[in-house]
């Protein structure tokens, strides 16, 4: 069974940092592109970042470019999101999401999400 489990969320002050993790199981993690998608409270879905299966290709939404860093450790079946210079508008539930085979572009499995709150 495919499982994605996020962790690392919490309360952080503006300007602070946080590192999210996503533990994958039930599939060959190293073969899949992965993404982070976020959802502000009461709002819609916003794609945040993409990483290729090898980690060699990375993209970011303009809203987080230069502040967030996506990475992965295929040996540990884990995806990460390092978030720096956090702002109030980064407050959201952060989901990791899997691209199905052949880098399709939509997301067939999602984690349960981890809440990040940026507030003083």
Partner 1 sequence: AIRITQSPSSLSASTGDRVTITCRASQGISSYLAWYQQKPGKAPKLLIYAASTLQSGVPSRFSGSGSGTDFTLTISCLQSEDFATYYCQQYYSYPLTTFGPGTKVDIK
In 3-state terms, what secondary structure has residue 119?
Answer: coil
Is residue 56 involved in binding partner 1 (CB under 8 A)?
A: no
Dist. CA 23–CA 2, nearest whole Å: 11
CB of 51: closest distance to partner 1 in angstroms? 9
DSSP for 48-91?
Answer: EEEE-TTS--EEE-TTTTTTEEEEEEGGGTEEEEEE-S--GGG-
Query: Judged by CB under 8 A, which of 95, 114, 116, 118 binds partner 1?
Result: 95
Number of residues that bind partner 1 (CB under 8 A): 20
Is residue 105 involved in binding partner 1 (CB under 8 A)?
A: yes
Q: Which helix (H) or strand (E) holds 116?
A: strand 114-118
Is residue 11 involved in binding partner 1 (CB under 8 A)?
A: no
Is residue 27 involved in binding partner 1 (CB under 8 A)?
A: no
- Which spans of this chain sit near partner 1 (rule: CB under 8 A)? 33, 35, 44-47, 50, 59, 61, 95, 103-108, 110-113
């Amino acid at each position: 069974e495919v499982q994605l489990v996020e962790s690392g969320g919490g309360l952080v002050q503006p300007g602070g940092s946080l590192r999210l993790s996503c533990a994958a199981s039930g599939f060959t993690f190293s073969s899949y592109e992965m993404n982070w998608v976020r959802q502000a409270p009461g709002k819609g879905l916003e794609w945040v970042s993409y990483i290729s299966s090898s980690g060699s290709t990375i993209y970011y939404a303009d809203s987080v470019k230069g502040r967030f860093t996506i990475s992965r450790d295929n040996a540990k079946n884990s995806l990460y999101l390092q978030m720096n210079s956090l702002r109030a508008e980064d407050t959201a539930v952060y989901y990791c999401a899997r691209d199905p085979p052949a880098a399709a572009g939509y997301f067939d499995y999602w984690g349960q999400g981890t809440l990040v709150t940026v507030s003083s």
